[in-house]
Structure 1
């Protein structure tokens, strides 16, 4: 086999390898893009329809709340300050505080507890209003 024919043979082999790898890389890229989009969709599901206020999505409806809320998410939902949420978290639930806990130094509030607390606040307000 001459050097020219060997070179042509190697060129053909490399071109085929390149084409096969390119299509494999394109398939892998498509899978990565699809997976990334799925992750983004799942992460944004809690606030997918929430309005954007001051450049941030705000949770204004219970169905948009994640199962575990940060004080900021709870504040956005309740339309009160985050500081006020922390104050309510510092009060024992039996005394009217929001049930919460910490994970790694971060305060967390379960969605179910937040919704129950909100309903209890409405009931307490209705009782006070009825007695006035």
Structure 2
């Protein structure tokens, strides 16, 4: 009987500590966070976004490409459906998933840049 009472007290104490931590954490976030300002265009950059080509893995998903190019994943899948000869991104299937070799993606970017006249091939990505 004594053990059950002590376990109940311990349980209640842990619950109180958890509530206290949650309250203090939310107070700290409210005090340190600057007030959010609404803007016409929301910043779409996320913590997982990739700003440099070297940050990409060797095999890319549609999400990797979408994050890198700052376009929707839907648009990436549309580019996957196009023939690479007419501007589509070369890709391969693993089951129902589509993947792209990083080198193929880099080559595709270089071709797109050359067609659009966005610099020469020596420019770093």
Per the TM superposition, whether the score is higher than 0.5 is: yes
TM-score (norm 1): 0.53
The whole-number CA distance in structure 1 between the counterparts of 2:109 and 2:70 is 12
Q: Describe the superposition over 1:6-62 as per-residue Cα deviations: whole angstroms up to 9, x where unpaired.
A: xxxxxxxxxxxxxxxxxxxxxxxxxxxxxxxxxxxxxxxxxxxxxxx44x4111211
**Which residue is equivalent to 1:126?**
117
Task: Kindly report the root-mean-square deviation, in angstroms, between the aligned alpha carbons of the 2 structures.
Answer: 1.5
Aligned pairs for 1:24-103 within 5 A? 53-54=45-46, 56-103=47-94
Q: Does 1:114 align with 2:114?
A: no
Q: Structure 2: any 5+ residue segments left out of the alignment? A: 1-44, 119-125
Aligned length: 74
Secondary structure of 1:107's counterpart equals strand
Q: Structure 1: any 5+ residue segments left out of the alignment? A: 1-52, 128-132
TM-score (norm 2): 0.56
Distance apart, 1:101 and its partner CA: 1.0
Task: Say which structure is richer in helix.
Answer: 1
The whole-number CA distance in structure 2 between the counterparts of 1:111 and 1:65 is 8
